[in-house]
């Protein structure tokens, strides 16, 4: 949990019995009574963790039919999930079989990197990178946004889309590789909102502000362990950043959040009334981070 005004933060614990070690959190949404997080497990697998209004973890469950889940949204009594490892958007409902709403391919593997989902005017939309280039995902530029029920491609030619979100009937996304935030509005079409720097992932919109996360360059492939070349050197950043854009004046506030981590994937509003982190929380969080890093060696 981060206070964007002060930069102070604290970790939200995973104190749920019998849970595995998580590698990272990808999906993050507000729901009645708290929050839901989609979390990656070391060695593979996806778990769903529920947090209450105080951000205390209350429940965690394995999602065995989801491989490398990246995002989630509430929809029609269940959850729609970006099932990245299976190239699809899945619909999870209590007590019912998992249903596939849309597939990027029939391979059952991550060949087009389906990575975010949003509900816009009742429609389920999703982003994908498109067919993986021979040089790897870093050179992907054929991304798109699709209506998962009709199969209609709404926007194409996106260089690595992430973080699709809804605002009424409009939808926003990050074009990560070009450090650009875009918005599509019915009747007005598609237009850039901001051109920034860094690998953009994590997007939240309020009536007054736009919050955007930027990740530091990933120097080694998480899956292959090989050195990753820097694409678009002029847009590269060496630290994670939080951009706060004033929607009225277009003024941009830039804050380094490297102290909290080098990569950002999702941003969501904290529950109302939850205690804001302070300096003591930040010191404790950083100490815990260093101790965890030291124990890995």
d(CA 8, CA 139): 35
CA 22 to chain centre: 16
Q: What is the pLDDT of residue 38?
A: 93
Cα dihedral sign for 26, 283, 242, 55?
positive
pLDDT, one tens digit for every residue, the chain (297 residues): 999 999 999 998 766 556 667 778 899 999 999 999 998 887 778 999 999 999 998 888 899 999 999 999 999 999 999 999 999 999 999 999 999 999 999 999 999 999 999 999 999 999 999 999 887 888 899 999 999 999 999 999 999 999 999 999 999 999 999 999 999 999 999 999 999 999 999 999 999 999 999 998 665 545 444 444 456 667 888 899 999 999 999 999 999 999 888 899 999 999 988 999 999 999 999 998 887 766 655
If we measure between CA atoms, which residue out of 51, 60, 63, 48 comes closest to residue 17?
Answer: 60
Q: What's the whole-number average pLDDT of the chain?
A: 90
Residues ≥6 apart with Cβ < 8 Å to 62:
45, 46, 47
CATH topology of domain 22-295: Neuraminidase (2.120.10)
Between CA 136 and CA 158 the distance in angstroms is: 16
> Do the beta carbons of residue 73 and residue 35 sit within 8 Å?
no
Largest CA distance in the chain: 56
β-strand partners of 99: 91
C-alpha–C-alpha distance, residues 216 and 164, integer Å? 20
Cα dihedral 212, 167, 34, 37 sign: negative
Model confidence pLDDT, tens digit, residues 91-107? 999 999 999 999 999 99
| Contacts of 74 by beta carbon, 8 Å cutoff, 6+ apart | 29, 31, 119
């Amino acid at each position: 949990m981060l206070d964007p005004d002060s930069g102070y933060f604290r970790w939200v614990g995973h104190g749920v019995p019998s849970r595995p070690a998580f590698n990272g959190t990808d999906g993050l949404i507000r729901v009645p009574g708290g929050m839901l997080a989609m979390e990656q497990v070391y060695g593979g697998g996806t778990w769903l963790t529920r947090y209450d209004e105080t951000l205390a973890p209350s429940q965690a469950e394995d999602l065995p039919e989801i491989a490398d889940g990246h995002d989630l949204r509430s929809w029609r009594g269940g959850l729609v999930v970006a099932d990245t490892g299976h190239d699809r958007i899945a619909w999870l409902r209590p007590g019912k079989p998992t249903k596939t709403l849309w597939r990027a391919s029939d391979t059952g593997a991550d060949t087009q990197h389906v990575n975010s989902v949003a509900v816009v005017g009742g429609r389920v939309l999703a982003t994908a990178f498109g067919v993986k280039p021979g040089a790897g995902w870093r050179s992907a530029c054929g991304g798109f946004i699709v209506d998962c029920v009709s199969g209609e491609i709404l926007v194409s030619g996106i260089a690595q889309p992430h973080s699709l979100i809804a605002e009424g009937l409009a939808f926003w996304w990050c074009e990560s590789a070009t450090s650009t935030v875009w918005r599509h509005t019915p009747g007005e079409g598609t237009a850039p909102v901001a051109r920034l720097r860094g690998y953009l992932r994590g997007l939240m919109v309020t009536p007054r502000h736009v919050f955007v996360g930027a990740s530091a360059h990933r120097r080694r492939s998480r899956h292959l362990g090989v050195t990753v070349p820097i694409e678009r050197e002029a847009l590269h950043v060496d630290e994670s950043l939080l951009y706060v854009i004033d929607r009225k004046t277009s003024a941009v506030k830039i804050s380094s959040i490297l102290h909290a981590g080098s990569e950002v994937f999702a941003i969501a509003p904290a529950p109302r009334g939850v205690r804001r982190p302070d300096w003591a929380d930040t010191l404790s969080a950083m100490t815990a981070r260093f101790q965890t890093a030291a124990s890995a060696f």
